[in-house]
Structure 1
Amino acid sequence: MRPLVAPGPELTPAQRERWSRHLLLPEIGEEGQRRLLNARVLVVGAGGLGSPALLYLAAAGVGTIGVVDDDVVEESNLQRQVAHGTADVGRAKVDSAADAVARLDPSLTVVRHRERLTAQNAADVVGGYDLVLDGSDTFETRYLVNDTLVAAGRPWVWGAVLRFDGHVSVFDPAGATYRDLFPTAPPPGTVPGCGEAGVLGGVCAAVASVMVTEAVKLVTGAGRPLTGRVLVHDALAMTWRELPLRPDPRRSAAEVLPTVSAQDLLRDGQEGAARTVVDVREPDEHAAGAVPGAVLLPLAELLADPGRLPGGPVVLHCERGGRSAQALRAVVASGRTDVVHLDGGFAAWRAAGGPVV
C-alpha cells in the first residue's frame, strides 16, 4: 500500500533529535517522519483502546490527532484507560486525552470532538482525517465507522478487546471490511461488554500498540499492512494467531445499488403496489414530515442490526439519498435482495408532488 500522507516540511534539529530512533529505521527515516508530522489521524473512543493509542500516536509524532468521545472519565476506567488519571474523574474524556497528549508533546494539535459518532455527523467528522483508528466498544459504532469509510473509499484500523482476548485488523473498501468479519450484529444481550465481562488492562495496551503500529505503517508506506488478516490475541495462553479474511461476495453485489425514482414510487402507491417504505432518518426529521405510512428505523439502528428491516419488498429513504444508500449496502450484505432505496430521498419525493404527513 502506498503511503497515505505526503511528507510535510523538512525536520528541524529539535525534531530530528526527538524522533532520532525513527530516523534510524530505513523503512521510516526522515521522509516517513515528515509524513507522520503531516498526518491527521482520528481515534474513535478515548477508552481502553483509544487511550493508549492516543499516547503512542503522539509519541510517534502524528501531527494532528482527533479524538471523538462523548463520555466522562469514571474511576472504573483508570484500570486500563491510561491517558486519564485520578484527578480527571468527572472530566470529559476528550479534554483529559488532549491534556495527556500535550504533556507528551505540546507541539502537536489535538482536535476534540465531544460528541457521539452518529449517522448524521460521521461523514463530516471522519472526512477531516487521513486515517481512522476505531477503538469503539459498540457494534453500532463499529458498523457506522465501517460503512462511512467504505462509502469514502478509505482504509482504517480496527481493534477490540474483552476479558483476556483481543482482535486487530486493517480494513480496506477494496478488500475485506468489518462486515465481512461480522455481517450482522449479534442479538442484543448475547455478547457482554467489558462492564459485564471485564478486561485485563494490559490486553488493551497490547492491542492498541498493534493498532498504532499499523497506523504508522499506513501513513508512511512501511511494511505489509494487516489487510485481509485478523490478528487474534489470547493473553492467557500468550499467543497471537493470524486468521485470513476475504470479502463476502454478497457485499460486492451491494456496490451496485438498486434505486427507485420518486415518480415510480408515487405511481406504485397509486396503483396499490405492496412495498414497505422505511425512513432511515432521525425521529425529529421524520416528525417534521414523512412519506405516508413510512416506518421509522434510524440509520444507526439499522446498521447495527439489518435484521430489523421488515420482510417483503422495501424502499429505504433518507433526506437526499446518502444515508439510505449506506443502509442499503448493509442490508444487501446481510443477504436481502428485495430492497431498494429512493433516488434523491425525501427531497425528491416532495419535489415530485408526493403527499407528506
Structure 2
Amino acid sequence: MNDEQLIRYSRQIMVPGLDLDGQARLLASRILLVGAGGLGSAVALYLAAAGVGHLRVADFDRVELTNLQRQILHGTADIGRLKTDSARDHVAALNPEVTVEPIEQALDADNLPALVADVDLVIDGSDRFSTRFAVNAACVRAGRPLITGAVIGMDGQVAVLRPDLEGPCYRCLYADTGEETLGCSETGVLGPLPGVVGSLQAVEAIKVLTGLGEPLNHRLLMVDALDQRWRRIELRRDPACPVCGSAAGQCD
C-alpha cells in the first residue's frame, strides 16, 4: 500500500482483526454486485469507500425519478442514464482507485457462470425471484459465497450463504414456484431501509473477504423496522434441494 492508501483507509485498518493484511485483501478482491438499486446503492458506496478493488455491477435499468427516494447511488442529473453508468461515475468520485465494470444486461443461466467464476463473492440486491434463483445456482456451481438481501415495506432481510463451506443455498429457503412477489412499485418501501440492509450486506462482505469476526454464515437476519424487531434464524441445508442437495442436477 502507498502512503495515500494508508491515510484513506487508516480508520478501517485500526479495527482489531482487520489491520494491513485485511486491507490488502480488500484491495485485491473482486465482487459481483447484482443490482444497482436501493440495496446496491449502499453496497457499492460502502465497499468502494472500504477499498474493494473491483466491483462488477450488473443492472440493465435506467434511473427514474421514483428511484431517488432510496437509491442514493444516483442523483437527479442521472435520470434517464443507465444505472451502471451512474454507478461507475459516483463510485469514481468517491474512490477513483476502485474499478467498476458495468454489466448492462439481464442475468441468466447462460451469462452468469462466466461472471461468477472469477470473483471472490457475489452480492445479490436484485428484486426478482427468477434472478435470485439464477444467481444462487451459479454461486453453488462455482462454490462462491453469496450475500443476499431483500426489502419490502418496512421489512428487510440479509443472509450469507456459503456453498464453499457446504452450507444451505437460496433454494433451501425458498421454493421456485415460477411466480414473482409484489415489488416496491406495488407495496412501497421506506427509503432508508434498503440502506440499512445494503450496509449490512457490505459489512458481511468485508468480514468474509478479510476473515474479520464471525460472518452471518448459514444464517438469516430479519428486521421489522416498524417495531425495530430483529430476528436471527439458523439455516439448514435441504437434502432434497434441486440445486445443492442430493437431487442437484435433476432440475434448475
TM-score, length-scaled by structure 2: 0.95
* Matching residue of 1:188: 179
2:47 equivalent to 1:57: yes
2:169 equivalent to 1:177: yes
* Matching residue of 2:204: 214
Spell out the pairing of 1:125-140 with structure 2 (5 A cutoff).
Answer: 125-140=115-130
Equivalent residues of 1:176, 1:227 under 8 A apart: no
| Counterparts of 2:93 and 2:19, CA distance in 1 | 25
TM-score, length-scaled by structure 1: 0.68
Identity over aligned pairs, percent: 48
2:75 equivalent to 1:85: yes
* Matching residue of 1:309: none
* Matching residue of 1:110: 100
Equivalent residues of 2:63, 2:82 under 8 A apart: yes
| Counterparts of 1:106 and 1:246, CA distance in 2 | 41
Q: Secondary structure at the match of 1:250?
A: coil
- Unmatched tracts of structure 1, length 5 or more: 1-10, 256-324, 331-357
The one-letter code sitting in structure 2 at the alignment partner of 1:165 is D
Deviations 1:116-135 (A, max 9, x none): 11111011112231111000
Post-superposition shift, 1:81?
A: 0.4
Equivalent in 1, 11, 28 of residue 38 of structure 1: 28
Q: CA RMSD in A?
A: 1.2
| Counterparts of 2:154 and 2:23, CA distance in 1 | 34
Any runs of at least 4 consecutive aligned residues in structure 1 with deviations exceeding 4 A, and if so which? Answer: none
Q: Secondary structure at the match of 1:249?
A: coil
Post-superposition shift, 1:329?
A: 4.4
Equivalent in 119, 123, 134 of residue 109 of structure 2: 119
| Counterparts of 2:117 and 2:86, CA distance in 1 | 24
Larger radius of gyration: 1
Equivalent residues of 1:58, 1:104 under 8 A apart: yes
* Matching residue of 1:300: none
* Matching residue of 2:14: 24
Spell out the pairing of 1:235-314 with structure 2 (5 A cutoff).
Answer: 235-251=225-241, 252-255=245-248
2:57 equivalent to 1:67: yes
* Matching residue of 1:352: none
| Counterparts of 1:177 and 1:149, CA distance in 2 | 9
The one-letter code sitting in structure 2 at the alignment partner of 1:254 is A
* Bigger relative contact order, structure 1 or 2 (CA pairs below 8 A, ≥6 apart): 2
The one-letter code sitting in structure 2 at the alignment partner of 1:161 is V
The one-letter code sitting in structure 1 at the alignment partner of 2:169 is T
| Counterparts of 1:153 and 1:40, CA distance in 2 | 15
The one-letter code sitting in structure 2 at the alignment partner of 1:88 is D
